[in-house]
Structures are given as structure tokens and as C-alpha cells.
Amino acid sequence: MNKMILEAKDLRLSFGDRQLLSIDRLAIYEEEKIGLIGENGAGKTTLMRILAGELAPEEGTVRRFSPAAMIHQQGNADAGTDEETRAVFRTRENREGLSGGEMTRNRISGALSARPGLLLADEPTTDLDQEGQRLLLRKLLDFPGAVLLVSHDRALLRQLCTRIWYLEDGKISDFPGGYDAFMAERLRQRERAAFEYEQYRSEQRRLKESAQRMAERASQVKKAPSRMGNSEARLHKREWTDSVLQLSHAKRTIQNRIEHLEVKEKPRALPEIRMKLGVSHPVEAREALSFRCESLTAGKKTLLRNTGFILPTGSRTALTGLNGCGKTTLLRTLTEQEGSSVRLQGTVRLNPAVRIGWFDQHHESTLDPEKTVLENILRESVHPEHFARTVMACLGITGDHVFKPVKLLSGGEKAKTALGRLLLMDCNLLLLDEPTNHLDLFTMEELEKLLAGYGGTLLFVSHDEEFIRKASTRIVCFEGESLKTFEGGWEEMKAPKKKNPAAEDRSLAVSRMEMQMAVLSARMSAPQKGDHPEELQAEFMRLAEEIRRLKSLS
């Protein structure tokens, strides 16, 4: 049996009058790959920080038998000192001007460089492009210690995790098996809960109807007529009393059974959106937006040259590309929020009927922290309150939670509020920059449905393959300094291209040499006994020249 590397007992933590965590015991063993799943605000990040030793619980103990490191989902971080890891993730020393994905690469590299026995990864794919996601998956699969992962990336959870912890109402349910097995079991549990609730309600109705019949029969038992003789009256009275007592006893027995029925709570069912979002003021023209670009630059970097794209009215388009290629800059340019260092030579043409809604990665600035969720989403809504609450319920904010001030929400709940506010506004063109960041898995699935049924035009940035597949019908992809449109969506973009064996061989050779250069760089920065720095430098330069030559042939 693998060695235990972490044990937590009797963890308790409250937030105001709400008990956020109430966990009796957790254990993690070496080489385990565990997925931690739960709704936004359930306490996943808080639990991870407690296990990492960054936060103390109110009660309970955490014992770590191996060093732990945590990949945080936000903020700047040092990329660490491991040269090979830094080279693999292409980290940058200068933190100024880093894209969201580049900052994520730094955070990953920094945690892996510490060589921990336990790696706690909190949304490590945030803003990562698909190349970065592949690198991360490979590193996590090869990681020799244990991994505890919080992620909304379903592909990553499927390929990595062999055990799922589900955090709900402060408690952990442990599911052996992978993500798909967890979801199948969760569906079975929901179906069983729905069946048991219907059985409970049916039995409750049957007993209440029986009690009502007993009461009606007791009221219909006739008393002795006034003209009846004394002896007959006494006999009839005794029979009447016995009948009433028997019926009353039967009624009390039934009521007692009603009171002692095991109560089954009604499973939460998400309401359906019956009005289509985004059609208050439809655009009648064929094109909602067109973009023609001679050049788009950010500072000294050229992002695009002699390219462009269109958004057909009613289309749902995903904007994809590598980290740092300029996706966010392009979206900001379309909304005229590009910043002073960005220069566009070209045109952005909007149909006069278009009303743009913009979801920024830093969406919190659009919310009033002192006002409630409901006040925020109704501020510019064109829909009535009951419909607005239905939309928020689909996004996972239900019941009295809409009366909670925004300043008390978790990061994911703030993202839901900002998305709900945007969906309810009088917009017919939505531009969304990474809308799934910080959302839990269950809300992502509901957002996919909302956007798949959106009646306006949609352009969004995402690196989540499954989300792109379900929410988009076409793709605009950054390829170098150009934009390429795939009208058939994800399947067309990923359709196998004609193979060029010579080019594939060159690509493999380049990859091998880049890895060799990373190892040489590490040895040059910390020479070992027997190393000759001049020879290492010469070999490094030879490999760099050979890589340049091979790339020039492509």
C-alpha cells in the first residue's frame, strides 16, 4: 500500500454564521491523483489552502508527511529555479505585460520547481492555451507525488483523476473512480432522490386522504334520536361512542404515521429558460460585425497583419490561439477599449442595430459590491424580476442567495453575477473573454446551454475544448499574424491535414533539441563535478543554430 503523505482530522471552519467546512477525516496517499469538485462558494480553495498550510482551521489538525506546494488560480508568481521546467513552460523573467496564460505558466513552473511530494493545483488551466494544457497534463501524469486538483476542465479531470472528492454543505463525499464514474453515480443519486421524494409525497397524500375520510365518517355517525327509549338510547349512545372512538383512534394513528414519515427533500431541478435571450432588438442584416486589419500592434509587437474576419448575424464564434497571441487585445479593439499602447490600421464595422455586451476577464469592476446580486442584475435588465431570477438559478445562484451583497460572494459567484447581468441586458452581440474562468463544472454546463440557445450573435475566447464544442458553431483562430476562420467549428479545425513526413521529422528533431537545450541551460547555471562550461556553451550554441536551420526549412 502506498505511503500516506497527508492526514487531516476534525476540520471545522465557519464564515459568519455559516459552517463552511465540517470534515471528520481526509487522507492522501503518494501517487494519488484526486479531483476536488464542488459548486462555487462550497469552500474548495479554502480547503486546499488549509491542506497546504497557508490557512489555519478553527478546529482540527493537518499532518503533512511530505513537502507540499500549491498552484494558485490567480496572481503573479515566481517561475522557480528549475531551468528544465521553466524551459518546458516557456516562462518569462519580466512580469510586466504578461498575458493571463503566461502568468499561469509561471505559477505552474514555480510550484513544480519546488519538487513537492504533494501538489495542490487550484484551477491550473486558467487562461492556458491548448499547448499549455497538453504540457500541464503530461507533467501531472508524470508527477511522482500526489496531486489534488480543482478544475473546471473536464478533459483534464477525465485523463488525470482516479478518485473524486465532492465537497457539498461542508462535507466531503469520496468517490473511487474517475470523473465520468462520479458523474454517472451523481446522476443515479439524483434519480434515486427524485424517486424517493415522489414516493414520500405519494404516501403523504394517501395518509392525509385516509385521515380526512376517518374525520368525515366520524362526523356522519348519528346520535340517538330524541324520541328513543332510555334503554335503547343508552345502547345507541354506547355504540356511537365506540364508533367515534375507533374512528378517532384510526385518524390519530394515521396522523402519527404522517408525522413519523422519513422526510425526503425535493431534489433541486434547474428551471428552464422559455424566453430566448438576446432577441429584444434583433439585427436584420446578414453581418453583425466585420473586421479588416492591415496591422494590429501592441507596443513593439505585431499581433496581426493583412487579415480579418466577419461575424454573421446569429452565429456563435469561438476565438482561439496560443497564449500571448493577442486574443484579449483583439476583443478590446472591437469594443474600443484597446489601451494607449495598441495601434490598429484597419476598420471595425458594426451594423447600426448592434448593441454590444462585453464580459472582461476583470469583470468585478462592472458590479457594485455594496448592492445585492438581484440589484446588480436588474440594474440594466430588459426582463422582469422572475425571469432574471430564473437565469440566475440556471447559473447556480438560487433562492435567497440573490439577496446577498456582491462583496460577500466568492470569485465564481461574482463571475456568475456578471454573466447574468450581461445576459439580461438589451444586447444582441456578446463579446466574452474567458467566461468560464472560476465557474464550477455544473454552472459551466448550464452556461453552455444558455449560450447554445442565445438568440443574438456571440464571440467568445475560451481554451476549454468541450465548452467550445458545445457553445460555438464556428471558430476564428490566430495562426501566426493571421486569422483563419473554420465555418464547421471545432471538427473542421481539428480535421487531419495532409501529412508531410519530412516536416514531421523536422518538428520532432526540433522538440528533442529544445529539451536538450533546457537540460544544458540547467547544467550551465549550476555546473556539476566534471562539467566543462565552455563545452556546454558550445553544444548549446550548436543546437540553437541547428534549430534555426530546421525551422527555416518549414
Residue 313: its pLDDT value, please?
Answer: 92
> What would the 3-class secondary structure string for 180-235 be?
HHHHHHHHHHHHHHHHHHHHHHHHHHHHHHHHHHHHHHHHHCCCCCCCCCHHHHHH
Per the DSSP assignment, residues forming a β-bridge with 147 are 33, 119
Residue 129: its pLDDT value, please?
Answer: 84
Q: Is 408 helix (H, G, I), strand (E, B) or coil?
A: helix
Per the DSSP assignment, residues forming a β-bridge with 297 are 302, 343
Give the start-end residues of each E strand in 261-351. 287-298, 301-312, 316-320, 342-350
Task: Count Cα neighbours of 397 within 13 Å in the Cβ-side half-sphere.
Answer: 29
Distance CA 97, CA 86 (A): 18
Distance CA 50, CA 11 (A): 9
Distance CA 476, CA 461 (A): 10
Distance CA 401, CA 268 (A): 15
**CB burial readout 58-81, b (16+ within 10 A) else e:** eebebebeeebbbbbbbeebebbe
pLDDT tens for the 554 residues of the chain, in order:
679 999 999 999 988 778 899 999 999 999 999 999 998 888 999 999 999 999 999 999 999 999 999 999 888 778 888 888 888 888 877 666 777 888 899 899 999 999 999 999 999 998 888 888 889 999 999 999 999 999 988 889 999 999 999 999 899 999 988 898 988 888 887 777 777 777 767 777 776 777 677 666 666 554 545 555 555 555 545 555 556 566 566 667 767 776 766 666 665 655 666 667 877 788 888 999 999 999 999 888 899 999 999 999 999 999 998 888 889 999 999 988 877 788 999 999 999 999 999 988 777 778 999 999 999 999 999 889 988 998 888 888 888 889 999 998 888 888 889 999 988 998 899 999 988 887 888 888 888 888 888 889 999 998 888 899 888 999 999 998 999 999 887 777 777 655 566 776 777 787 777 777 777 776 777 777 777 878 878 887 888 788 878 777 76
Contacts of residue 225, defined as CB under 8 A and 6 or more positions apart, other chains included, come to none
Q: CA torsion sign, 495 to 496 to 498 to 500?
A: positive
**Which strands make up the sheet holding 59-64, listed edge to edge?**
18-29, 4-15, 59-64
Distance CA 115, CA 117 (A): 7
Helices 130-142 and 100-113, axial angle in degrees (round to 10): 10
Contacts of residue 297, defined as CB under 8 A and 6 or more positions apart, other chains included, come to 303, 342, 343
Residue 363: its pLDDT value, please?
Answer: 76
Write out the H or E segment, with its range, that includes residue 157.
Answer: helix 154-160
> Cα–Cα–Cα angle for 5, 7, 13, nearest 5°?
135
Phi, psi of 286 (to 5 degrees): -75, -30
Residue 545 in grid coordinates: 543554430
In this prediction the pTM is 0.69
User: What count of other Cβ atoms lies within 10 Å of the Cβ of residue 199?
Assistant: 11
Distance CA 258, CA 251 (A): 11
Helices (H) and strands (E) in the chain, counts: 16, 18
Distance CA 239, CA 204 (A): 31
Distance CA 270, CA 389 (A): 11
Question: Residue 186 region, left (φ>0) first, then alpha (ψ -120 to 50), else beta?
Answer: alpha
Residue 475: its pLDDT value, please?
Answer: 93
Give the start-end residues of each E strand in 151-286. 163-168, 171-176
Query: Could you tell me if 154 and 164 are in contact, meaning their C-beta atoms sit under 8 angstroms apart?
Result: no
Supply the DSSP symbol for 381. B
Write out the H or E segment, with its range, that includes residue 272.
Answer: none
Radius of gyration from C-alpha coordinates of the chain? 31
Query: Could you tell me if 11 and 21 are in contact, meaning their C-beta atoms sit under 8 angstroms apart?
Result: yes
Residue 51: its pLDDT value, please?
Answer: 95
Query: Could you tell me if 69 and 145 are in contact, meaning their C-beta atoms sit under 8 angstroms apart?
Result: no
Which runs of consecutive H residues, i.e. helices, occur in 263-359? 327-334
